[in-house]
Structure 1
Amino acid sequence: MEVIGADGVHVGTVDRVEGERIKLKKSDSYGRHEGHHHYIELGFVAGVEGDKVRLSANADIAVTLEEERSGKAVDL
């Protein structure tokens, strides 16, 4: 499923759900964070619309909320 911000902009693609977080596919990472998974807390999910997971924040804000495996937020 595609993950989109509240503004409809692509944030990532769901790899799977692990615990209370959505694990995004590695192919959606870029820049210095390229090549590894990022996670978004399920608390940021506003709803599911068809085959899209819509977040409660716009995409530009949502990417700053992504976490790496350690659980620490990353600065994209």
Structure 2
Amino acid sequence: MIEAGQIKEHAEVIGADGAHVGTVDRVEGGRIKLTKKDSGQGRHEGHHHFIPLDLVADIEGDRVRLSANGDVAITFEEEDGGKSVQ
């Protein structure tokens, strides 16, 4: 199990396939808060998204690798307030 304290601010979050998912702003409430610059497009742009810590498979230096591929991992993202992005 990954300890939340192991996750560094500004670490890259990647899917199991190596695809860029986002950049860590910080860990809060059992979730990784992604920076706004990685917030997506359209109505999802310009605010923070969150990834559940349960999806973290490994920490590789300054990278957080998820257990799901990048295109699948973004379906688990939540917006402020816990609302699913998809």
TM-score (norm 2): 0.84
2:17 to 7, 16, 27: 7
Structure 1 gaps of 5+ residues are none
Give the aligned partner of residue 44 of structure 2.
Answer: 33
CA RMSD of aligned residues (A): 0.7
Give the letter for the 1:6 counterpart.
A
* 4+ aligned runs moved over 4 Å, structure 1: none
Q: Tell me how far 1:50 sits from its aligned partner.
A: 1.1
2:77 counterpart of 1:58: no
Q: Does 1:19 align with 2:29?
A: yes
Q: Secondary structure at the match of 1:17?
A: strand
Q: Percent identity?
A: 71
Equivalent residue for 2:56? 45
Task: Count residues in correspondence.
Answer: 75
- Say yes or no: does 1:69 pair with 2:80: yes
5+ residue gaps in structure 2? 1-10
Amino acid paired to 1:7: D
User: Alignment partner of 2:78: what SS?
Assistant: coil
